[in-house]
Structure 1
Amino acid sequence: MEAFGGVPTVQPEGVRGFLTRRRGHGRLHVTDIATYAYLIIGTVVMFGPVLWLVMSSFKPRSLLFEPNPTFLPYQQVTVKVDGYDEPLNLYDLTFRDATINGAKITLSNIQATNGVVQGIDTVLLTPAQQEALNSLGTGSGRVPEGIASVSIEDGNLLDVIRAQPELSIGAELLESVNLSEVVAVEGDTKYTFLMPTNEAFAAFFAEYGTAMLEDQELLRTILLHHVLPDRYLVVNFYRSINTSIPTLLPDDMLPIALETGETRRLAQIGSPKGAEYTMIDPDNPEAGTISVFAYGTAAGLSVIFEPVREVKFSLDNFRGGVKAFPFWRYLRNSIIVTTAATLVTLIINSMAAFALSKYRFAGRDIVFIIIISTLMVPISVILIPAFLVISEVGWVNSFWGVIIPGAATPTGVFLLRQYMLTIPDELLDSARIDGATEWRIYWQIILPLARPALAVLAIFSVMWRWNDFLWPLIVLNQNELFTLQVGLNAFQGALDIQWHYILAMTVLTLLPITLVFAFLQRYITSGIATTGMKG
């Protein structure tokens, strides 16, 4: 309870009280904002990468290399379709329609032999042609929309058009204005005719009337406006997006743009063949397969493939990783090395700390300073000398070669010495009066009282030894002796790195550290807080 303005205020207790306490007594103070910002940023920086690692370990390999990765482990949704043994990947396909001179054309539906497009279910007009037609009739100027297509290989274009019943009106109009010779296909000369269908001409005449049939020059201009002076492939339309398509009329171009059309959910069959994707409707497989062509344009792909995904915590990476290398053998080796090294570290460091804190002898402080000063020596400097010593002793390819060199640590000696300084010397003097030996004082008085500091050092030692990679990699070169950290290096090849297995196995290697920390965490606060306090 605190008093503010003469009125007592009650501060909440526990975690809620810690997180909501304010210096400003009800108002946010600048120090409150700074403290909360520091707390939030620190939490994100400390635990964000770990959470990202854990979530990524559940992702399939293909999703790890996406340009815009997600935090949650999304996976591709598959669907079982009758007639196919394996489940098929599901996609949402958004078809993008082109507008040629303002008329909507579903280019993804165009099919033409050799890629030549020749049919279209609309009549393309320039503004000048619309104005001329409006002066002849009572048309609204609206352009019919839709799509149809035919194709041509060789021969007279008029003969090809006559063979298509839905293009009979166009064939008659071509003959009436003597354009059959202009659009003939001879030698290397190729034309593409965007021929409107009978349905398109019917709608066109309904809008503008039939008076335009008497104006031969205007009719000829409109028809020439539909002839492209080259063999125009389907892909050319997509590559012309945001530009204009030339016609036989030099001054009349067909502007073409891209718009978003319908979206359909389809399943993909096999792998794409170039720009062609074979799809099937899982809700109506009897309708057969659908060929979808995805072409690149200046405005993006003509068809947008959006994978259908769902959040799924799959254990496939963990199962595959455990089977891909001798995980259990490496785990056993890591447990042996970590456990033995931690016990040896606790014993050696505690004995050194006991001597430096409770015995008075000449040069004690100098010895302590020398031990602490070794923290300034980089590990890389002593790697080669340490390895030469290990080789002479015969501990190469031996667990002892990994355990012993790092048993005595200056950090451990400093931590335990500072804590043991808080133990009253009177306890030791009383034990000596009662006849206790120095070893008994060490085992039955010092070690039990130094339990919090020993727990802190044990956590540090477990973390150091469990995560150690460089020294075991140097000392051990036999596969059956590898620890987990060295064994994980097997997933990193010269040409292929199996990141999905590395992530999954890394998460597994974190579990023992987490369990040790959870078991000993109650000693950490008291051990660190009381280190260096004189009792």
Structure 2
Amino acid sequence: MTGILRLLTARRGAGRLHWTDWATYAYLGLAVLLMFGPVLWLVLSSFKTPAALLEFPPSFLPMTQKEVRVEGYPQPLPLFSVTMEDGSTRELAQVRRVGLIAQMVDPKAPGTTVRVAADKRQPVREMAFAVSNYTEPLAKYDFLRFLENSLFVTLIATAITLVINSMAAYALSIYEFKGKTLAMLAVIGTLMIPITIVLVPVYLVVTEMGLVNSLWAVILPGAATPTGVFLLRQYMLTIPRDLIEAARMDKASEWRIYARIVMPLSAPALAVLTIFSIMWRWNDFLWPLAVLTKSEVQTLQIGLNAFQGELQTQWHYLLAMTVVTLTPVAIVFAFLQRFIATGIANTGMK
């Protein structure tokens, strides 16, 4: 918070704001708007009703037409601001509309029906948050189970990825052996292989192992990632070799050096890989769609696809559940973002 306040109060000179200060603040404001504007629009739209989402021109805030209960009518009636023939304005509730004529009543005196031209009325709008967009999918579509499956896949897969990738990076950065360069080139070369090329072979392997419709079919195939090995290896190269040799002279085992020295010193790179792994696993759609066909083992991303049909898309549910899927990743990024700059800067990645 102190850094943000210092940034907002920084000036080129000691006096009033220079034109470069205004330009800098305008540039930063535009950048913030471009980055967080769509996210804010998504969150606010997730509280809109289906009718409000289809309005044109669209509204930024979740607005809906106000309804009132009128004596003698079982259902709430929509409220309109009506321009009368004498030029005055009244708020009337619409009973029904036939063609270009609407039958309206005064909510305070519903005994008399007034016929009003449709173009003489404007809907009375109010801000309303459709919380049911969140509660109904969690109850009707078993979204809590999808959430549990995604959490299990993400946490377990991230833990396995950190262990396997760190071990491979430790061997490629600390040890000297024949074929080390060739092994590193092979790891980097796999980055150029699209997932669609290996999709069928990996699916056949998973099928032979009997893991189809199991969450382990999503976890195990991507346990070792070339990006993670490269990132950690580049960071571990910055660890002084004298420190490793001193530990060996003190009769420390390789496992002890790996766990007690290398891993703590590689914390920034591990944090970066943790964020990447969580994003990969949490947002993965193609591979879980191929190996998970039963609804009880499906993840959130496949669950979101249930709101999209051939003839209709339930946008209010889709937007609300999209916010739910974004929340865990945003929380993880908020806690680990301070390691990103340090980790990437010391790995040589651009």
Q: Which residue of 1 aligns with 2:108?
A: 283
Alpha-carbon distance, 1:72 to partner: 1.0
1:28 aligns with 2:27: no
Determine which structure has the larger helix proportion and give its number.
2
Q: Which residue of 2 aligns with 1:233?
A: none
Q: Which residue of 1 aligns with 2:183?
A: 367
Amino acid at match of 2:274: A
Q: Which residue of 2 aligns with 1:72?
A: 61
Contact 1:421-1:532 at 8 Å conserved across structures: no
The partner residue of 2:194 within 378, 391, 396 is 378
The partner residue of 1:396 within 212, 216, 241 is 212
Structure 1 segment 117-196 matched on structure 2, within 5 A: none
Structure 1 segment 90-489 matched on structure 2, within 5 A: 90-94=79-83, 261-269=87-95, 271-286=96-111, 288-294=112-118, 303-489=119-305
Aligned residue for 1:360, secondary structure, equals coil
Alpha-carbon distance, 1:458 to partner: 0.8
> C-alpha distance in 1, partners of 2:348/2:309?
48
Contact 1:422-1:532 at 8 Å conserved across structures: no
Contact 1:23-1:29 at 8 Å conserved across structures: no
Alpha-carbon distance, 1:389 to partner: 2.4
> C-alpha distance in 2, partners of 1:389/1:22?
61
Q: 416-425 vs 328-337, which deviates more?
A: 416-425
Contact 1:397-1:475 at 8 Å conserved across structures: yes
Q: 418-427 vs 381-390, which deviates more?
A: 381-390
- Spell out, residue by residue over 1:381-423, the C-alpha distance to the aligned partner (whole angstroms, 9 max, x if none): 3222322222232222111111112221122112211211121
Amino acid at match of 2:65: Q
> C-alpha distance in 2, partners of 1:59/1:515?
24
Amino acid at match of 1:469: F
> C-alpha distance in 2, partners of 1:366/1:22?
53
Alpha-carbon distance, 1:50 to partner: 0.9
Contact 1:56-1:73 at 8 Å conserved across structures: yes
- Spell out, residue by residue over 1:114-171, the C-alpha distance to the aligned partner (whole angstroms, 9 max, x if none): xxxxxxxxxxxxxxxxxxxxxxxxxxxxxxxx9xxxxxxxxxxxxxxxxxxxxxxxxx
Amino acid at match of 1:263: T
Alpha-carbon distance, 1:277 to partner: 2.0
Q: Which residue of 2 aligns with 1:510?
A: 326
The partner residue of 1:55 within 18, 35, 44 is 44
Alpha-carbon distance, 1:513 to partner: 1.3
| Runs of 5+ unmatched residues, structure 2 | none
Alpha-carbon distance, 1:461 to partner: 0.8
| Runs of 5+ unmatched residues, structure 1 | 1-12, 96-105, 107-145, 147-260, 295-302
**Count of aligned residue pairs for this structure pair:** 347
1:363–1:38 CA distance, 2 compared to 1 (3 A): farther
1:25–1:374 CA distance, 2 compared to 1 (3 A): farther
1:325–1:17 CA distance, 2 compared to 1 (3 A): same
> C-alpha distance in 2, partners of 1:532/1:59?
45
> C-alpha distance in 1, partners of 2:231/2:24?
29
Alpha-carbon distance, 1:451 to partner: 1.5
> C-alpha distance in 2, partners of 1:317/1:364?
54
TM-score (norm 2): 0.91
> C-alpha distance in 1, partners of 2:194/2:64?
45
Alpha-carbon distance, 1:37 to partner: 4.4
1:45 aligns with 2:34: yes
Amino acid at match of 2:18: L
Determine which structure has greater relative contact order: mean sequence separation of CA pairs < 8 Å that are 6+ residues apart, divided by chain length: 2
1:29–1:272 CA distance, 2 compared to 1 (3 A): closer
Question: How much is the aligned-residue C-alpha RMSD, in angstroms?
Answer: 2.2
1:497 aligns with 2:323: no
Aligned residue for 2:32, secondary structure, equals helix
- Spell out, residue by residue over 1:250-282, the C-alpha distance to the aligned partner (whole angstroms, 9 max, x if none): xxxxxxxxxxx443311112x423333221111
> C-alpha distance in 1, partners of 2:198/2:23?
43
**Higher-Rg member (1/2):** 1
Alpha-carbon distance, 1:293 to partner: 3.7
Amino acid at match of 1:489: N
Alpha-carbon distance, 1:22 to partner: 4.3
Between the aligned residues of both structures, percent identity stands at: 56
Aligned residue for 2:228, secondary structure, equals helix
